[in-house]
Chain A
Amino acid sequence: MKVIVINCGSSSIKYQLFDMPSEKVIAKGLVDKIGLKGSYIKHTKADNEPVSIEGEILDHQQGIEFLLGIMISKKYGSLKDISDIQAVGHRVVHGAEEFSGSVLIDDDVIEALEKSSELAPLHNPPNLKGIYAMQQLLPDVDQVGVFDTAFHQTMPEHTFLYAIPYVLYERYKIRRYGFHGTSHKFVSARACELLNRDLSTQRIITCHLGNGSSLAAISNGKSYDTSMGMTPTEGLIMGTRTGDLDPGALLYMASKEDTSISYTNILINKFSGLLGISGVSSDMRDLENAAAEGNQRAKLALDMFAYRVKKYIGSYAAALGGVDIIVFTGGIGENDASTRKKILSGLEFMGVKTDPEKANVRGKETVISAADSDVKVIVVPTDEELMIARDTFEIIKE
């Protein structure tokens, strides 16, 4: 069965075509700068070099039309006809409390998603655009929604609630939802496979560190707590987001700078985090270069980032009553050895001991803890697309 996985951002679409259940990637690519100047599709057919094709892409529907056109073209195609595609899996960021697992998309699901757009105004609308476009282009093909929030729906009330009047939770569903669920679920399961452990008995802390970052405390295969909250701004320090911030400081800042609610939202989501502290960049590599050249604020940003992760690891170890496995994933988690070292240093007291050689690994599944370490530390590259393809295949099969 051919399953296409679609991940729509505000001006981009990531896609992968899988053969299931063999899980072979037939083609993948990126539609970028939708609705903007210089739009293009970077397409890679299995075992081939990527090709970049330029042209005007006005909206998500047209982007998806072109990528399907490429897939059935003689030049770069892998399919005879678009009817060869039997299922579409969509990454959907916010499923609110409605969705605790992946679902077949029907009118009721779409209605629920339109409602939950209020909770994720930046992410859900482009996800919906992808769903609408696929309904237009492949009206007879089943579509499945896989939610970033679904994995965390197992969090108990005492970890997902905010200490605000309970009635506000009842009225508006203001609570912590958590994100990156597909990734936390995938890497925790994969880590157990690689370590030959039974997922249902393990206390795991997964660190998804990228431009957006979050940690999850996983107990017996279920999410018990996670660092992102009602929105992806809570928790760790990120590229341009504050992470945890005293609400009192937020109000004081907004009053001093005389910013409206919408500008304050932009301030904490686009001007803050690593970029805001360093004044240099939101990108870890730029910061490391700047720090190496003596830029103190870049160094400070790196230190603050690592400290916040370490603090969360400590609190989650306490929450879980100990920890068996720590997993690193995401762009920074998989590739940035020096940040990982900073995070792990000083955690020897709780049984973390790294292998100095393996600790330098980049982007490969590797156990980086020493053989005699009580806590296993492992790097597992995330593969959200594969996870979405698996869920989609399972649901369609049923």
Chain B
Amino acid sequence: MSHLREFSLGDKLKVKGKINTIGIVGCGAVGQSITLLVARHGIEVVFVDVSQQRVDEIFARMELQLDDEINHWGITPSEKRLVLSRIQGTTDFSGLKDCDIVIETISSRKKGTEVEPRKDIFRKIEEVVSDKTIISSNISTLMISDLADVLRIKGRAIGIHFIEPCDKTNIVEVVRGVESTQDAHEKVMRFCRMINKKGVTLYDSPGNISTRMLVPIINEACEILMEGVASISDIDLTMRETLGHNVGPFELADRIGLDKVMKYMENLYSEYGNSKYKASPVIKRLVRANYLGKYVGRGFYTYKDDKMISNNITCAVIK
């Protein structure tokens, strides 16, 4: 039986610098959207998570997500099979050894998910991958240069920030650290093109562009609300209609998750010390009362089955 390798025309014609496999470490909601996004564009994905049970759950969730798309005429059943066939899940970091780019996407909601655990993940990734592999983090308020510090080859670290909903947002923030090399940057920009995103290059700075703009907007909206000037839905409506935003600040905060928003605020405030980033008391109260946003069914608004059912705030804490 012949194999196609026998018919290769030689190394000079080989595809150079091809990106075949992407690694994802920590496959929560964001990790899953990135995994599906990448696999949809014909690239293999290996994700690593903490236990086999968790790996199985992640596959089940991604399958549900794809089934939902089939029901809404988004993809065909055979495309679903194709997408899933490109994804592998494992609990073992050695599964990442053939990856061209590995992206750390551990949840930033949980406590203890600051710099240290991410550094530990960076170390573990570097132990198994080749010297050419890019090691990345889906960071927004942390610094890629801090994470790169633990690597033997520091120039390979580069931030790739996917903005939710990442299948619909056309841009990706590509964050160059102090030591990120030109090669690493070019490879990541090529990866962005392969997944049909425009890479916006920026230099290491907490909050990048998106989160740094987002935080003061949400804070100011909370300020207007606290002063009793206008209702939540009217503030959102005004922002949608006058500033051309797709969603208003409260809807957006609910979508991101208020605990996550609060984390962003705390990180930026501790980094810049400017009060415009300081978490609004409204956000803090809602988080304490477990009004965490859309993913728990209540935040500024109330949700059922992922749909907003009420635009009247039900949480007494901010009345």
A binds B: yes
* B15 contact set on A, CB distance < 8 A: 58-59, 61-62
Also in contact, A65 and B9, with CB within 8 A (given A36-B82, A53-B2, A263-B74): yes
Contact B9 A55 (CB under 8 A): no
> Which of B1, B8, B42, B72 contacts A69, CB < 8 Å?
B8
Contact A73 B73 (CB under 8 A): no
Q: Residue of B at shortest CB range from A272?
A: B73
Contact A266 B3 (CB under 8 A): no
Also in contact, A267 and B7, with CB within 8 A (given A58-B15, A58-B18, A65-B13): no
Docked complex Cα distance between A257 and B3 (Å): 48
A75 in the interface (beta carbon within 8 A) = yes
Docked complex Cα distance between A270 and B74 (Å): 10
Docked complex Cα distance between A82 and B14 (Å): 16
Contact A55 B3 (CB under 8 A): yes
> Which of A37, A66, A262, A264 contacts B4, CB < 8 Å?
A66
1/0 per position for A61-93, CB-CB distance to B under 8 A? 110011011100101000000100000000000
Contact B9 A137 (CB under 8 A): yes
Contact A264 B8 (CB under 8 A): no
CB distance from A121 to the nearest CB of B (A): 11
B-side interface size class: 20 to 34
1/0 per position for B13-42, CB-CB distance to A under 8 A? 111001010000000000000000000001
Contact B72 A136 (CB under 8 A): no
Contact A75 B20 (CB under 8 A): no
Contact B9 A69 (CB under 8 A): yes
Also in contact, A68 and B9, with CB within 8 A (given A53-B3, A55-B4, A59-B15): yes
CB distance from B130 to the nearest CB of A (A): 17
A322 in the interface (beta carbon within 8 A) = no
* A266 contact set on B, CB distance < 8 A: 73-76
Contact B13 A257 (CB under 8 A): no
B85 in the interface (beta carbon within 8 A) = yes
> Which of B6, B14, B72 contacts A257, CB < 8 Å?
B72
CB distance from A302 to the nearest CB of B (A): 22
* Chain A contacts to B: CB under 8 angstroms: 35-37, 40-41, 51, 53-59, 61-62, 65-66, 68-70, 73, 75, 82, 136-137, 257-259, 262-264, 266-267, 270-271
Can you spell out 26 A-B residue pairs with CB atoms less than 8 angstroms apart?
A35-B42, A40-B4, A53-B2, A53-B7, A54-B1, A55-B4, A56-B4, A59-B18, A65-B9, A66-B4, A66-B7, A66-B8, A73-B6, A75-B2, A137-B13, A257-B72, A257-B73, A259-B72, A263-B73, A263-B74, A264-B73, A266-B74, A266-B75, A266-B76, A267-B73, A270-B76
